[in-house]
Structure 1
Amino acid sequence: MNSRRDKREELQSEARHQTIELVSNLVPFGNLAYKTFTAISKPLYIQRREEWIKDISLRLLRLEEQDKIKLEDLAGSDEFNTILIKASNLAQEHHQEEKINALKGIVINTSLDLSKDK
């Protein structure tokens, strides 16, 4: 149920931004106003994506600094890339921290498991 609501909120957020962009192109200096608006108020999905990428990147870099993983090896792993992409897509669809943290755990644990095998 929450997933439908989340999806609806995301679609509404995107629609608002598209409408504002369209209208802003019709008025003088409207494009500048739109860019200012989007710099202040990013669509939900962009905020979620940026937060996800930042957090996962920092966690993986920390593990590499601790010599627990090698990012170069993981970059070449089809299994890791598949899990990372799927988890990233799911994380953008949810606002619930519990679910997002579970997805982060899956990515981190997969990176550790694959690194142990090497």
Structure 2
Amino acid sequence: MALRRMVPVTLALLPLFSVVACVSQPGTSNKASQQAAVRASSQPRTATYSCSDGGMMTIENVGTAIRLLGPDGVSEELPAAPPSQRSRYGAEHDAIVLDGKDALVMKSGQMPLNCTR
């Protein structure tokens, strides 16, 4: 007797379960566009930045470090800090944080400097 009641209920719920199975999980629907946004905001191999003090600087990304090329031709290399990072670089009392098209430059004894590429 219970089996006779279970068959119609199961048949009635079957379409509902199949529709629920087709609904995407949160956060997975725009994966390709999210990856494209990350690539667009990541640091290119070489980029020139205009800074808020009117100066310019070029940053060359060499993987586990960046090389700063100043307008005077002097270059300085800053390693990733910590080594697994790809947005924070620094040595001793100097540091740079890269965030999309922005760079925050911090040098010992000076006010932080905002730069944009």
Task: Say which structure, 1 or 2, has more relative contact order (CA 8 Å, 6+ apart).
Answer: 1
Q: Structure 1-normalised TM-score? A: 0.27
Q: Structure 2-normalised TM-score? A: 0.27
Q: Which has the higher strand share?
A: 2
Q: Which has the higher helix share?
A: 1
